[in-house]
Amino acid sequence: MFHHYEALLGEEQGLGLKISPENVPVGSMTWLVPDFNASSGGHINILRFMALLKDLGFPEQRLVVVEPHRWGSAAEAQAALNAAFGDNGIMVSLGARSIEPCQYLVATGWQTAYWVAKYRDTAKRLYFVQDFEPAFYAHGTEYILAENTYRLGLIGITAGKWLADKLRHEYGMHTIYFNFACDLDLYRPHERRPSKTKHIFFYARPVTPRRCFELGLLALKRVCDQMPDTAVIFAGWDVGGYEIPFHHLNAGTVAVPNLPDLYSQCDIGLILSSTNLSLLPLEMAACGCPLVINRGPNATWLLPEEEAFYCELDVDSIAETLVAALKNPEEMAGRAALALERSKSSNWKAEAEKVSVFLEEIA
Q: What is the pTM of this model?
A: 0.94
pLDDT of residue 84: 87
Using one digit for the tens of pLDDT, what is the confidence trace for 276-307?
999 999 999 999 999 999 999 999 999 999 99
Q: Does 209 lie in the same domain as 84?
A: no
Residues 270 and 154 in one domain: no
User: In angstroms, rounded to a whole number, what is the distance separating the alpha carbons of residues 115 and 206?
Assistant: 31
Q: At what angle do helices 41-54 and 348-362 cross, to 10 degrees?
A: 70
Residue 311 lies in a domain: yes
Please check whether residues 58 and 172 belong to one and the same domain: yes
Q: Is 208 left (phi over 0), alpha (psi -120 to 50) or beta?
A: beta
Q: If you ran DSSP here, which 8-state letter would residue 119 be given?
A: B
* Closest CA relative to residue 307, chosen from 281, 280, 346: 281
Per-residue pLDDT band for 129 (boundaries 50, 70, 90) equals very high
Do 352 and 340 have their domain in common?
Answer: no
Residue 45 — very low, low, confident or very high, per pLDDT cuts 50/70/90? Answer: very high
Evaluate whether residue 136 is within a structural domain. yes
Number of structural domains the chain divides into: 2
Asked if the bond preceding 59 is cis, omega within 30° of 0, the reply is no
Q: Which domain holds residue 303?
A: 198-344
Rounded mean pLDDT, 125-131: 98
pLDDT value of residue 38: 66
Tell me the pLDDT tens digit for each residue of 308-337.
999 999 999 999 999 999 999 999 999 999
pLDDT at 39: 66
Domain of 221, CATH number, reads 3.40.50.2000
What is the C-alpha end-to-end distance of the chain, expressed in Å?
Answer: 39
**Residues 324 and 286 occupy one common structural domain:** yes
Task: Give the pLDDT confidence of 67-95 residue by residue, as tens digits.
Answer: 999 999 999 999 999 998 889 999 999 99
77 with 202, same domain: the answer is no
